[in-house]
Amino acid sequence: MDKDQMKITTIAFDGDDTLWHHENYFSETKARFHTLMNELGDYPDAEEQASERHIANIPLWGYGVKSFTLAMVETAITLTSGKIIGSDIERIMDIGRSLYEHPVILLDHVAETIQALHGQYRLLLITKGDLLAQEMKIAQSKLAPFFEGIEIVSEKNVETYERVFKRYGLKAGEVLMVGNSVKSDILPPIMLGAQAIHIPYYVTWKYEQVETTETEQGKFMVLPDIKELPRALQEIEKNSI
């Protein structure tokens, strides 16, 4: 990170795979779809095809469970050349539905870290995905009272962060964004002049994987665990003006 940064007043957190587990459930869902399809026939790339269709549909249907469920149904129709029967479509719908029903499990050390930072910094949550699914996760996480603002957005690009920072009257330089996706949580805010800390989750969705240049890597910190965040902030504070 650069020296002589502005003092951090605000920490913005990503939700999925930063505060609570998510991608592991998605991987499980994809595997269940794959198993179901291969009960119906020989479809070795069923999982891959559903994933590709989900990504291709993002501009139309966005991120999240509902659009992935539609992608599974579409894939099943294509792979079976339209022969899949209603009761099997229903089984696919049930697989999608179960993604909504899993409990929200916070990552280790999240609750105590958020509590410790609350009061010292203004905390924001910036998360993307299905509006309803994200609202349910936030409610179940019991973290909402610690955030001064919660933004559920359809995409996390430079324009999104610019809009959010403006809404809260923030200069980019006083914001630290924390998240598991370099593509969505790290690169757009640093392009605006914010600071960012990457905390990788053990599995990254293919769509969120991105190559970074050495220059980009020099602009953000990587931490193995959110519990290191308060100490990292002390380091940043030492270098701030």
Tell me, by CB under 5 A, how many residues bind Mg ion: 5
Q: In whole angstroms, give the CA distance from residue 47 to residue 32.
A: 9
Residue closer to Mg ion, measured from CB, 16 or 174: 16
Q: In whole angstroms, give the CA distance from residue 131 to residue 16.
A: 13
**Taking the complex as a whole, how short is the minimal distance between the CB of residue 181 and Mg ion, in angstroms?**
5
Tokens of 158: 């430079």
Q: In whole angstroms, give the CA distance from residue 178 to residue 229.
A: 9
Residue closer to Mg ion, measured from CB, 29 or 180: 180
Beta bridge partners of 240: 5
* Binding-site string for Mg ion from residue 39 to residue 78, where x marks contact by CB under 5 A and - marks none: ----------------------------------------
* Binding-site string for Mg ion from residue 173 to residue 212, where x marks contact by CB under 5 A and - marks none: -------xx-------------------------------
**Taking the complex as a whole, how short is the minimal distance between the CB of residue 70 and Mg ion, in angstroms?**
21
142 Cβ partners below 8 Å, 6+ apart? Answer: 111
Determine if 16 is a binding residue for Mg ion (CB under 5 A).
yes
Residue closer to Mg ion, measured from CB, 34 or 198: 198
Q: Interface with Mg ion by CB under 5 A: which range of 9-17, 140-148, 218-226, 227-235?
A: 9-17
Q: Starting at the earlier edge strand, list the strands of the sheet with 195-198.
A: 149-153, 122-128, 10-13, 175-179, 195-198, 221-222
- Given a contact cutoff of 8 angstroms between Cβ atoms, the answer to whether 19 and 107 are in contact is yes
- Given a contact cutoff of 8 angstroms between Cβ atoms, the answer to whether 180 and 17 are in contact is yes
Where on the chain is the footprint of Mg ion (CB under 5 A)? 14, 16-17, 180-181
